[in-house]
Amino acid sequence: MNLAHPTIIAACIAALAVPALPANAQKLPDSPVRARAISLLGDERESILLGRLEPGRGYRLRISLLSQSSPAEGRVEARVGDGATLIQDSADRDVYHLETRFAPETRGPIRLHLTAAGGIDSGYQVRVEWQAEAEPRMARVEYIPSPNQNDRSRAAKLNAIVVHATVTPTTEATVDWFLTPKSQVSAHYVVGRDGRIVQMVDDTARAWHAGVSELEGVKGVNDFSVGIEIVNLNDGKDPYTDAQYDAVAAIIRHIRDQYDVPDSRIVSHEFVARPPGRKSDPKGFDFPRLLRLARNPQ
């Protein structure tokens, strides 16, 4: 992930009225937004605990000046952790909202420090929002991009997971097939017998795994799902390994860090394929075991 060194933000804000959101304000991604409102007096310093954030993960931070009581030129500076403060151009009076990204380097609690300029007759209302950025790839997992993918439709929200069996006997042969343009198929993840995970499509993109399909009355399951291919012959005899159950559960936890996927929407390819009976995979797979492991890793 390309993140500029985090740490820093600052606002110099001069405003009397509550400003409207600028037209080009960036839409925040889907993960939960945490927010705090805070009152500041001039020459006062306040800290907000952002919590125990995940080291190396990207976070987006937005600071909004909601109101200011002093007619004098006001200024609110903000700093994440021990980072230096960046001063924005104080001549720019349109900066009422400040957005920045940062990636904590350590696991300890991270604080945001706010300082306001002016005397004690200056009062500011500030709103702080922060949120983990979408993480389209699983950490510490091999990534081999498949050409067989496209964008999800704009309205689609990722809220389902489809589990498959490859029929193809090895990880290598499966990956090769998903790398072949003429196959016109892919999945987000391939899980080998030894638990090795290969990611081939970003979570945010649309992999081609489910074909003609429907879930809870909505057609085109590729649009709103993540596809996981487990290397298995799908003959009902070839056993799924413990390492595969653990790996698929880990993928589900990674997806659930960012998206709301209920147990009822973690389904087999057989369940969503249309017409019914078109697919039988993953035959013999123990879904209750998977769902337990996804909640309580061993």
| Contacts with Zn ion, residue ranges (CB under 5 A) | 164, 269, 281
Consecutive H or E run containing 179: helix 171-179
Shortest distance (Å) from residue 187 CB to Zn ion: 8
By beta-carbon proximity to Zn ion, the closer residue of 79 and 206 is 206
Euclidean distance between CA atoms 261 and 251, whole angstroms:
12
Catalytic residue chosen out of the listed positions 46, 77, 135, 229: 229
Shortest distance (Å) from residue 165 CB to Zn ion: 7
By beta-carbon proximity to Zn ion, the closer residue of 93 and 219 is 219
Residue 150: Cβ within 10 Å count: 11
Contacts of 126 (CB under 8 A, 6+ apart): 37, 38, 39, 40, 63, 64, 65, 66, 76, 114
Provide the token pair at 245.
Answer: 């159950």
By beta-carbon proximity to Zn ion, the closer residue of 12 and 190 is 190
Shortest distance (Å) from residue 115 CB to Zn ion: 56
Q: Which of 232, 256, 255 is nearest to 244 (CA)?
A: 232
By beta-carbon proximity to Zn ion, the closer residue of 97 and 269 is 269
Euclidean distance between CA atoms 159 and 281, whole angstroms:
20
Contacts of 176 (CB under 8 A, 6+ apart): none
> Is 229 annotated as catalytic?
yes
Shortest distance (Å) from residue 76 CB to Zn ion: 54
Q: Which positions are annotated as active-site residues?
A: 229
